[in-house]
């Protein structure tokens, strides 16, 4: 049997981290066994539809390298792959389910149903319409009465089903409510549409959040009533913001797009969320998508929720940045340079310096703001016990360095370092007593992305000389 999984997001906005993780696990389950990964758009909830959200889904999956084998944009043998385009199918199967005894026509209003419900006492709606004969119900439909189709829970006792993550699960049928399967406007609810679609699209494995465990017996009843084979269930725990709260875009938590905008690399994000619920069984933490496809098994998914740790993601992102080629890092850094640097500087060399020191691309502008404009700073910054400097030593070093630097013709990091190192030695100074004051003079900052000579190369000779003169005057 060929493994077939599906990612079936609703087009309601940005890509939530939990949704992307679900897509990743579905993708890996399929690809680890040379199976098919299907993209299906579940847009039956028209009230929550957001214009352009489908394009966000496409671009996100493509950006992280999760190509789909079938979907709305590329087609396939089981289309259409947008639920709103499958509307007649759901009506057909819903009416068929009524005939099979797994559902019934309900003429009660939504208000009437809601009046009976009470979550605190677990009171469910007891539908009087389920006692109507099929003939009576059809007469009322023929007379133009609005109706919905509700599921009929016709079993007693306990439902038992197996989940890859949680093992065998038992739920009493008495705990299930007879929810709506087909709404009065002809659109199906999620609970019905996904069962019909998963069967017709021959989906073998369903990955979803563990909040759907309690509803699974209802899905299984639909499968049983139609005589269909239920899929393999893989329920995963949520991604948490902290011990009490789920990660949620509604609460302002970062989406995939937010993280990318903050300078995180898509590959790093994907690597990190793979480990939010999956244990590789080794100490390895950095995985390419190709490696994940080889190593992933659903059996190693965790039962416990995972807490999203932005510090861990930032560390991992730094690893990915340092593993880039310099050319690739420079290409990624250029849009940031264009936003915050107008001065003519050695950007290629700047990239070689920054790549070793930034953990996210968004750190580029804050770390390089001194290039564009020399900040105001207190001369007390020249005091540094470790470097054995103070204002007087700093001024002396800068006065010594200025004529030497003015004579330098080969303006490279290596040559400048040797020149200033020789200057220190010839004047009985420690290297730091020269290099530290030069670095402060060029940046006006306690911490910088590079050392004194690296900053000099980035700024160029003219600006370096100019800033040292200004520092001498300041001191």
* Catalytic hit among 31, 246, 249, 395: 249
Query: Cα dihedral angle (188, 189, 195, 201), rounded to 10 degrees?
Result: 50
List residues bridging with 162 in a β-sheet.
Answer: 168
- Which residues are registered as beta bridge partners of 171? 159
Taking the alpha carbons of 415, 417, 421, 427 in that order, is the dihedral positive or negative? positive
**What is the distance between the alpha carbons of residues 206 and 91, in angstroms, rounded to a whole number?**
23
**What DSSP state is assigned to residue 231?**
P
DSSP 312-333: HHHHHHHHHHHHS-HHHHHHHH
In 3-state terms, what secondary structure has residue 454?
helix
> Is 249 among the catalytic positions?
yes
77 burial (CB, 10 Å; 0-12 / 13-18 / 19+) is: exposed
Among the listed residues 427, 429, 437, 435, the one whose alpha carbon sits nearest the alpha carbon of residue 390: 437
Nearest to 395 by CA among 471, 323, 452: 471
**DSSP H helical segments within 65-128, as ranges?**
87-100, 110-116
How many angstroms separate the CA atoms of 307 and 243, rounded?
Answer: 7
Q: What is the DSSP string of 42-69?
A: ----GGG--TTHHHHHHHHHHHTT---S
Calculate the alpha carbon distances from 105 to 95, 133, 146, 179, 224 in Å: 9, 10, 10, 12, 20
In whole angstroms, how far apart are CA 250 and each of 45, 245, 254, 456?
17, 12, 10, 47
Q: How far apart, in whole angstroms, are the C-alpha atoms of residue 249 and residue 13?
A: 10
Token pair 């199967």 is at which residue?
93
Contact (CB, 8 A) for 194 and 200: no
Residues 6+ apart with CB under 8 A from 446: 381, 440
Catalytic residues: 249
């Amino acid at each position: 049997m060929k493994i077939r999984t599906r990612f079936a997001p609703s087009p309601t906005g940005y890509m939530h981290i939990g949704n992307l993780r679900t897509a990743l696990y579905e993708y890996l389950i399929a690809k680890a066994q040379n199976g098919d990964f299907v993209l299906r758009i579940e847009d039956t909830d028209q009230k929550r539809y957001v214009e352009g959200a489908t394009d966000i889904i496409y671009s996100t999956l493509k950006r992280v390298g999760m190509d789909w084998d079938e979907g709305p944009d590329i087609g396939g043998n089981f289309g259409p792959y947008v639920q709103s385009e499958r509307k007649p199918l759901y009506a057909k199967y819903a009416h068929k389910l009524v005939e099979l005894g797994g559902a019934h026509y309900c003429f009660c209003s939504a208000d009437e149903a809601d009046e009976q419900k009470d979550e605190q006492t677990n009171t469910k709606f007891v539908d009087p319409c389920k006692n109507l004969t099929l003939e009576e119900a059809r007469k009322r439909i023929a007379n133009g009465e609005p109706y919905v189709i509700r599921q009929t829970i016709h079993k007693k006792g306990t439902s038992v089903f197996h989940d890859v993550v949680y093992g065998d699960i038992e739920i009493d049928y008495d705990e299930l409510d007879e929810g709506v399967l087909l709404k009065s406007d002809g659109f199906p609810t999620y609970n019905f549409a996904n069962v019909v679609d998963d069967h017709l699209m021959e989906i073998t494995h369903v990955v979803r959040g563990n909040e759907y465990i309690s509803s699974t017996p209802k899905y299984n009843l639909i499968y049983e009533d139609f005589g269909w084979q239920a899929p393999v269930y893989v329920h995963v725990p949520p991604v948490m913001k902290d011990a009490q709260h789920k990660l949620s875009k509604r609460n302002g938590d970062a989406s995939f797009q937010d993280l990318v905008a903050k300078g995180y690399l898509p590959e790093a994000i994907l690597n990190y969320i793979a480990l939010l619920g999956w244990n590789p069984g080794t100490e390895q933490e950095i995985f390419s998508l190709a490696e994940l496809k080889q190593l992933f098994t659903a059996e190693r998914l965790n039962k416990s929720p995972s807490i999203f740790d932005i510090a861990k993601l930032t560390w991992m992102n730094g690893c990915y940045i340092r593993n880039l080629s310099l050319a690739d890092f420079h290409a990624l850094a250029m849009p940031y340079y264009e936003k915050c640097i107008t001065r003519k500087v050695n950007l290629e060399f700047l990239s070689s310096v920054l790549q070793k020191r930034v953990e996210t691309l968004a750190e580029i502008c804050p770390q390089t703001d001194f290039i564009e404009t020399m900040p105001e700073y207190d001369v007390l910054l020249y005091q540094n016990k470790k470097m054995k400097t103070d204002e007087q030593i700093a001024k002396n070093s800068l006065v010594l360095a200025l004529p030497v630097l003015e004579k330098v013709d080969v303006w490279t990091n290596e040559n400048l370092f040797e020149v200033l190192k020789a200057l220190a030695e010839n004047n009985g100074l420690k290297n730091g007593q020269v290099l530290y004051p030069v670095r402060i003079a060029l940046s006006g900052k306690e911490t910088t992305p590079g050392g004194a000579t690296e900053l000099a190369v980035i700024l160029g000779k003219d600006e370096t000389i100019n800033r040292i003169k200004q520092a001498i005057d300041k001191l």
